[in-house]
Amino acid sequence: MVELQKRKGLSLRRLLFGDPLSTSQLIHERLTKVKALAIFASDALSSTAYATEEMMLILILAGSGAAHLAWPLALAIAGLLVIVASSYNQTIHAYPNGGGSYIVSHDNLGQLPGLVAAASLLTDYVLTVAVSISAGVAALTSMAPALYPYRVEVAIFFVGVMMVLNLRGVRESGTVFAIPTYIFLVIVFVLIITGVAKWMMSGMPAPLPPRFTYPAVHSLTLFLVLRAFSSGCAALTGVEAISNGVPAFKPPEAKNAAKTLTAMAGLLITLFLGVTFLVRQFGVVPDEHTHETLVSQLGRAIFGGNTLPYYALQAATTMILVLAANTSFADFPRLASLLARDRYLPHQFSYLGDRLAFSNGIIVLAAVSSALIVLFGGATTRLIPLYALGVFLSFTLSQLGMVMRWRRNKGPRWQLKALVNAVGAIVTGTVLIIFAITKFVDGAWIVIVWIPIFISFFLTVHRHYASVAKQLSLEAHGDPSPIRRNRVIVPIGDVHRAVLAALHYAQSLSNDVTAVYVETDPTRTPRILEKWKKWGKGIPLEVLPSPYRSILRPLVSYVDQISDPARRDEVVTIVLPQFVTARPWQQLLHNQTALLIQMAFLFRREVIVVNVPFHLREAPA
């Protein structure tokens, strides 16, 4: 029966996650440029579905007429994207083994800047999942308004689907994500071409007036414009993903990654500018009453409301936004594994799972992003102020690190390369300052406070691992003192087969064995002593009175009496008889005294606790 249950559990696991992959298959999990574009660029490409809208939500605070400023701001953001992409193109070739901000900053600027970049990126990856999936659900509810009250539940479901797909491994998730990404690209290009054609055929008129009139609740100040610009800069999130994931490409890795980055930048600029231009020409502005997205409104204006192209647009937008979270599911675990390798995160993050994926990082990312979705009600606009600050901080540190690298290593045309990265650092640093100032009260302060806490955690973990390594070092401390005396005690609650098995094991460890019975009920003691005379194998039995019925306190006091913490060559071994039930749930029907004893002595260096399991068979029906 137990074997049948195990097989059923194994079958369900195989169904969800697939058969285990051997380590030798890792090289075969490399990605082609086509699949890599879908995995690493889906975050950036999908941002065209909400970046323009986030800009306009800020601009319309100055009235509907201010929405026309979205176009010049989009041009500025496109120029910024060219600069950032050019800078990261150099990073890819300089770091063919993966040139994420953490590696570049740590190598060239030192430990603290590297940890700042790492904390910023990990934070951004979590927010990417929350923002992308929340935006995907918004696209879905624009097409199906009846789902709007359940947007948080739907978003959590999508996070779970993404987690399972990524736990299956890189290659399979790449196949799943490639098709929706390219469907989205095709349908949005059709939208842009159709919209531009309609505009040209109507004589290229001036932009239509906004469909909705919003009163001005804020003056059209430079601060407001910069605030809108920083919201639109959400379009740049995900640009670094390709440089961070260079090792995932098929050889030649750096060349293929650079081509993929160039393709992503070109596509992103085209989609972002195309959507923003058409939104302006057709007079589309955010609808805060029905919560319909800007892209949905644009699709209705160009394709018509109840047409197949419109539903295809919304379905593709939903899919790409949900699957855009895969950028984080690809890079968060990889970055966490690098930090774990350098002993800044727990070592568990560096372990590859059955499917050659960093399973622990994937699960943690899903859990934390789900918590954010619940906390912020699945509202993209509420999450955006927390978004992009971390990524622009990592952009800036990465480019500064590259400048230092070129200055140190020199090489052909190093001055020009340093200049490109210096321009990237200045521009992204400026945007970082704008973002921090304009979004501070809207929620950016949370990230500003969180990053130092994250760094403190990194340093605490690092100090712990350094201390452990030092104390375990043979070179520093040599061979520990040999154990010259092992006093073994066997706590018993009754006399039965499990106790006898523990006694046999205790006698194999030492000739100095004592059984201990904590007397919580004096009426039971005579029966215990009588059985002990018959079955106790001549081993002395100590009876410890416990008038307050505590098991642990008398036992701890007894161990304190017989042990000497100052003697490193003497130990006390507590051998615990423990029976194991045939079914896991049956274990809940019995007390957990053995576990409590283990916990009581866990941090006592002179005490060793050993469990001796006695396995029970299934009771006959």
In a domain, 471, yes or no: no
- In this structure, are 454 and 517 located in the same domain? no
- In this structure, are 136 and 80 located in the same domain? yes
Tens digit of each residue's pLDDT (9 = 90 or more) over 168-209 = 765 545 566 678 889 999 999 999 999 999 999 988 887 777
Mean pLDDT for the stretch of residues 155-162: 93
- In this structure, are 172 and 295 located in the same domain? yes
Give the lowest-confidence range in 80-84, 142-146, 350-354, 481-485.
350-354
- In this structure, are 27 and 139 located in the same domain? yes
Q: What rounded mean pLDDT belongs to the chain?
A: 85
> What's CA 131's distance to the chain center, in Å?
14
Secondary element (H or E) of residue 571: strand 570-580
Q: What is the 3-state secondary structure (H, E, C) of 431-496?
A: HHHHHHHHCHHHHHHHHHHHHHHHHHHHHHHHHHHHHHHHHHCHHHHCCCCCCCEEEEEEEECCCC
Nearest of 235, 327, 257, 234 to residue 89 by alpha carbon: 257
- In this structure, are 66 and 120 located in the same domain? yes
In a domain, 192, yes or no: yes
- In this structure, are 458 and 567 located in the same domain? no
Q: Residue 339 — pLDDT band, cuts 50, 70, 90?
A: very high
In a domain, 620, yes or no: no
Q: What pLDDT, on a 0 to 100 scale, did the predictor assign at position 443?
A: 80
Q: Residue 269 — pLDDT band, cuts 50, 70, 90?
A: very high
Number of structural domains (the chain) is 2
In a domain, 342, yes or no: yes
Q: What are the helix and strand counts (H, E) for the chain?
A: 25, 5
Question: Residue 33 is part of a domain; what is its CATH number?
Answer: 1.20.1740.10
In a domain, 267, yes or no: yes
Question: Residue 510 is part of a domain; what is its CATH number?
Answer: 3.40.50.620
Nearest of 370, 365, 376 to residue 123 by alpha carbon: 365
Tens digit of each residue's pLDDT (9 = 90 or more) over 236-254 = 887 888 887 788 788 888 8
**Which amino acid type is present at position 18?**
G
Q: What pLDDT, on a 0 to 100 scale, did the predictor assign at position 19?
A: 53
Q: Torsion angle, CA of 360/389/448/377, rounded to 10 degrees?
A: -70
Are 313 and 295 contacting, i.e. CB atoms less than 8 angstroms apart? Answer: yes
In a domain, 480, yes or no: no
Give the lowest-confidence range in 182-196, 464-478, 482-496.
464-478
Residues facing residue 580 across a β-bridge:
615
- In this structure, are 578 and 447 located in the same domain? no
In a domain, 533, yes or no: yes
Q: Is the dihedral of CA 331, 332, 334, 338 positive or negative?
A: positive
- In this structure, are 425 and 489 located in the same domain? no
Rounded to two decimals, the pTM is 0.77
Res. 222: pLDDT tops 80:
yes
d(CA 551, CA 591): 12
Mean pLDDT for the stretch of residues 593-620: 83
- In this structure, are 564 and 422 located in the same domain? no
Are 140 and 155 contacting, i.e. CB atoms less than 8 angstroms apart? Answer: no
Q: Residue 262 — pLDDT band, cuts 50, 70, 90?
A: very high
Q: What pLDDT, on a 0 to 100 scale, did the predictor assign at position 369?
A: 94
- In this structure, are 396 and 536 located in the same domain? no
Residues facing residue 488 across a β-bridge:
513, 573
- In this structure, are 590 and 524 located in the same domain? yes
- In this structure, are 430 and 563 located in the same domain? no
Joined together, the tokens standing for residue 342 give 């350098």
Q: What pLDDT, on a 0 to 100 scale, did the predictor assign at position 549?
A: 80
Q: What pLDDT, on a 0 to 100 scale, did the predictor assign at position 355?
A: 53
What is the domain extent for residue 58?
Answer: 2-465
In a domain, 121, yes or no: yes
